[in-house]
């Protein structure tokens, strides 16, 4: 039986896709949601070495240096891995959220704001003029000085929609 087609499946190799399917099955989340979150975080490159220019964030889900340390590694080591190897750390990071990622926004919140997993879409993540708001201002879709879970996830929803197109779904 052929593997299911998932968002961004044509953009990654077979081993990467197979591993994402396995991780998602173990965690109880939609593999297309995980792929969309990684597409957003890596600017559609799925590169394990991609860095955020404004922080230590690196890789498929933009691991911060403190997060990497908590997982027993460093951002430098994560950046040196293949994408398939780094997926082991994605799985390790997401393990505490097993069975809790019921929506695209919940999957994305594990990365951006873990305390919002399971919260309503109107849950406020960041409020102006805080430093965290300034860092995530681009997620404030309606420019009202608050970033809600739904607003933040709308950026990832756009990646899901793009990744489900016939040219990228595979």
Q: Does domain 14-163 have CATH number 1.10.530.10?
A: yes
Residue 125 phi/psi, 5-degree rounding, is -90, -45
Q: Is the CB of residue 104 less than 8 Å from the CB of residue 36? A: yes
* Cα–Cα distance for residue pair 136/32, rounded to 1 Å: 24
Q: Is the CB of residue 157 less than 8 Å from the CB of residue 36? A: yes
- pLDDT value at position 96? 98
- pLDDT value at position 56? 87
- 1: pLDDT strictly greater than 80: no
Is the dihedral angle over the CA atoms 92, 6, 154, 165 positive or is it negative? positive
Q: What is the tens place of the pLDDT at every residue in 34-66?
A: 999 999 999 999 999 999 988 889 999 999 999
Q: Is the CB of residue 75 less than 8 Å from the CB of residue 60? A: no
Q: What is the pTM of this model?
A: 0.95
Taking residues 73-81, what's their average pLDDT? 97
Q: How remote is the C-alpha of 41 from its chain's centroid?
A: 6
Please state the domain extents for the chain: 14-163
Q: What is the tens place of the pLDDT at every residue in 98-156?
A: 999 999 999 999 999 999 999 999 999 999 999 999 999 999 999 999 999 999 999 99
Structure tokens at 26: 């173990």
């Amino acid at each position: 039986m052929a593997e299911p087609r998932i968002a961004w499946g044509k953009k990654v190799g077979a081993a990467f896709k197979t591993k994402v399917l396995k991780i998602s099955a173990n965690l109880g989340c939609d593999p297309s949601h995980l792929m969309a979150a990684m597409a957003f975080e890596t600017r559609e490159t799925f590169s394990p070495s991609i860095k955020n220019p404004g922080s230590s964030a690196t890789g498929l889900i933009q691991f911060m240096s403190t997060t990497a340390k908590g997982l027993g590694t460093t951002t430098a080591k994560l950046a040196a891995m293949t994408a398939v190897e780094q997926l082991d750390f994605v799985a390790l990071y997401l393990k505490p959220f097993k069975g809790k990622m019921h929506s695209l926004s919940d999957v994305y919140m594990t990365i951006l704001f873990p305390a919002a997993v399971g919260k309503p879409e109107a849950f406020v993540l960041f409020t102006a003029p805080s430093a965290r708001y300034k860092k995530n201002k681009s997620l404030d879709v309606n420019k009202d000085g608050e970033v809600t879970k739904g607003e933040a996830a709308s950026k990832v929803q756009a990646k899901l929609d793009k990744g489900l197109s016939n040219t990228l779904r595979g």
